[in-house]
Amino acid sequence: MSATTPASVPAAAGPGPVPAAAGPVQAFQPAGRAPGSAPGSGSGPHPGLPSSGRDRYLDLLRTTALVRVVFYHLFGWAWLSIVFPSMGVMFALAGSLMARSLSRPALGVIRGRVRRLLPPMWAFGALMVGMMAYAGWRPSVTKVLLYLVPVGAPPYPDSLGSASGWLDLDWPDQAVGPLWYLRAYLWFVLLSPLLLRAFRRLPWPTLLAPLALTAVVGTGLMTVPGEPGLALTDFAVYGSCWILGFAHQDGLLKKVPRYFLVSCAVPVMAFGLWWAHGHLGPDGWDLNDIPLAQATWSFGACALLLAYAPSWRQLPPRLARFDKVITLTNNRAVTIYLWHNALIMATVPVVDQLYNVPFIEGRFDSALTATYNVWMFLAVWPLIGLTVLAVGWIEDLAAGRGPRLWPDGARRARARE
- With a cut of 80, say whether residue 299 has pLDDT above it: yes
Minimal CA–CA distance to 331: which of 114, 49, 54, 103? 54
- Predicted confidence at residue 25, as pLDDT, reads 34
Confidence of residue 311 (pLDDT cuts 50, 70, 90): confident
Does residue 2 surpass a pLDDT of 80?
no
User: Is residue 150 very low, low, confident or very high in pLDDT (cuts 50, 70, 90)?
Assistant: very high
**Model pLDDT, residue 356:** 86
Q: What is the pTM of this model?
A: 0.87
**What does DSSP assign to residue 33?**
B
pLDDT classification of 163: cutoffs 50, 70, 90: confident
Tens digits of per-residue pLDDT, 183-221?
Answer: 999 999 999 999 999 999 999 999 999 999 999 999 999
Cβ atoms of 39 and 94 closer than 8 Å: yes
Mean pLDDT of 381-385: 98
Kind and range of the H or E run holding 266: helix 258-278
Amino acid at 309: A
Is residue 292 over pLDDT 70? yes
Q: Residue 225 region, left (φ>0) first, then alpha (ψ -120 to 50), else beta?
A: beta
The Cα–Cα gap between 338 and 342 comes to: 8
Express each pLDDT in 229-277 by its tens digit: 999 999 999 999 999 999 999 999 999 999 999 999 999 999 999 999 9
Per-residue pLDDT, 415: 57
Looking at the predicted structure, is the pLDDT value of residue 32 above 60? Answer: no
Mean pLDDT of 379-383: 97
Distance CA 132, CA 290 (A): 31
- Model confidence pLDDT, tens digit, residues 9-31: 333 333 333 333 333 333 333 33
Residue 45 has pLDDT above 90, yes or no: no
Confidence of residue 44 (pLDDT cuts 50, 70, 90): very low
Please indicate whether residue 157 or residue 35 has the higher confidence score (pLDDT): 157
* For residues 92-120, average pLDDT: 97
Task: Estimate the crossing angle of helix 333-352 against helix 372-391, to 10 degrees.
Answer: 130
Helix axes 56-75, 86-101, angle to 10 degrees: 150
The residues, ordered by sequence, that sit 6+ positions from 363 with a Cβ below 8 Å of its Cβ are none
Task: Report the pLDDT value the prediction gives residue 54, as an integer from 0 to 100.
Answer: 86
In whole angstroms, what is the distance from residue 327 CA to residue 315 CA? 11
Question: Reduced to 3 states, what is the DSSP secondary structure of residue 24?
Answer: strand
Residues contacting 105, CB < 8 A, separation 6+: none
pLDDT tens digits, 126-142: 999 999 999 999 999 99
pLDDT tens-digit readout, 337-352: 999 999 999 999 999 9
The per-residue pLDDT for 275 is 98
Nearest to 238 by CA among 302, 176, 284: 302
At a CB cut-off of 8 Å and minimum separation 6, what does 415 contact?
Answer: none
Distance, CA of 233 to CA of 155 (rounded, Å): 18
